[in-house]
Structure 1
């Protein structure tokens, strides 16, 4: 099986632009007591998660850094609602993707390189092809135009890792308290074949969660169906 990085296709000629964010999120961490870092990462998003049963929803509505104890308290409130396989970090997002858009769109849209939206009809065609793990979640997007697209948000689970050979030999392990991995995305990126899933045709890496990966099956189905708006860059495996 070959694997590809999914990226926005700027050469496809679409003019569409979407500005938005998720309904709820975990705060960042302010001054981890172990590594001293203040940080968050918005790349992990779980749009199927409904946090409305939590009483203090206001705690999940404003991006901000908090002491690690408060972050950990809020993280534990979220855990019962997470899908199987989810990994959360400071800044992880939940609920529908909300915002506004305008312009001419293709089948796919990537508001950021780590978020992937797909229109309903193309998603249904991909699911009919038998691709694995394609879960589309409702969005709350407003379009000020006559031709209004219906975008769903793909819930992309974290599975798979970069191969150690493409990482710096003298690298630090993740922080033992907050989990922060102080590594830049390696170039070239090489995937660790032993960690890649057999049950998903689209996923994001566990250790570099901004990277969305798909299988050759997904690429072939998109090309067969004439679905554009994203490009595919082959990633070596080892």
Structure 2
């Protein structure tokens, strides 16, 4: 099986612009006592998650950083609502993508740059090709035009890791308290074949904010002439 990195096609000529964020967020961390780092990363988003049953919903409406004890408390409130295989991290986002959009879009667009959106007809075509593992979640985007597309956000689970051979030999393990990995994306990313899923055609790596697809997904998009993204081969070892 071959794998590809999925990126927004910046040379496509589409003029589409999106100003949006997810409805709910979990706070980042202020000064983790284990690694002394203040950080948050919203690249992990779970748009299918509905947090409305939580009584203290206001705690998830504003992006901010909190002491790690508060982050851990709020994490326990969120955890029962997560889909199987989801992983939390400081700054993670939940619920539909809400905001404004305008312009011309392709079949796909990648927002911010790790939230992949797909138009309804493109998603239907891919599922008809047998890619039933794709999970599209409705967005709440307001368009400033009459002929507006209907976008779904693809919910991607963090699965698979980079191979140790492409990482610094003196790297430190992730923080045992907050989970921060703290490494820059390698110039030549190499996938660890033993960690890659056999049941998903599109996923997000565990250790880096990289969208990865299978050869099957890339070929289906090209055969169906779905545009808006590009595919870059990745080596696996």
State the TM-score, normalized to the length of structure 1.
0.98
In the TM superposition, 1:63-212 aligns within 5 A as 63-208=63-208, 210-212=209-211
SS in 1 for 2:74: helix
- Any residues of structure 2 matched to 1:30-49 within 5 Å, and which? 30-49=30-49
Q: What's the CA shift for 1:131?
A: 1.3
Output one character per residue of 1:96-132: Cα deviation in whole Å (capped at 9) or x when no partner: 0011110011111112121100000100100110114
2:214 pairs with 1:235: no
Deviates more, 1:132-141 or 1:73-82: 132-141
**Contact map agreement 1:132 1:201 (CA 8 A) in 2:** no
Q: What residue in structure 2 maps to residue 23 of structure 1? A: 23
In terms of mean alpha carbon deviation, does 103-112 or 47-56 score higher? 103-112
Aligned partners of 2:15 and 2:219: how far apart in 1? Answer: 25
Relative to the length of structure 2, the TM-score reads 0.99
Q: CA RMSD of the aligned region, Å?
A: 0.6
C-alpha separation in 1, matches of 2:144 and 2:113: 24
Q: Aligned ranges for residues 8-19 of structure 1 at < 5 Å? A: 8-19=8-19
Contact kept, 8 Å, 1:132 with 1:199, in 2: the verdict is no
Q: Alpha-carbon deviation of 1:54?
A: 0.1
CA distance in 2, matches of 1:234, 1:39: 31
Does structure 2 retain, via aligned residues, the 8 Å contact 1:132–1:200? no
CA deviation after TM superposition for structure 1 residue 187, in Å: 1.3
- Secondary structure (helix, strand or coil) at the match of 2:111 reads coil
Structure 1 runs (4+) deviating above 6 angstroms are: none
Contact 1:30 1:68 (C-alpha < 8 Å) held by counterparts: yes
d(CA) in 1 for partners of 2:158 and 2:215? 18
Contact 1:44–1:93 (Cα < 8 Å) also in 2? yes
**Cα distance between partner residues in 1 of 2:57 and 2:119:** 29
For residues 149 and 132 of structure 1, the distance between their equivalents in structure 2, rounded to whole angstroms, comes to 22
Per-residue displacement from partner, 1:158-194 (whole Å, max 9, x unpaired)?
1000000000000011111111111111110000001
Q: Secondary structure at the match of 1:116?
A: strand
Cross-structure match for 2:217 = 218
For these two proteins, the number of residue pairs brought into alignment is 237
Deviates more, 1:211-220 or 1:10-19: 10-19
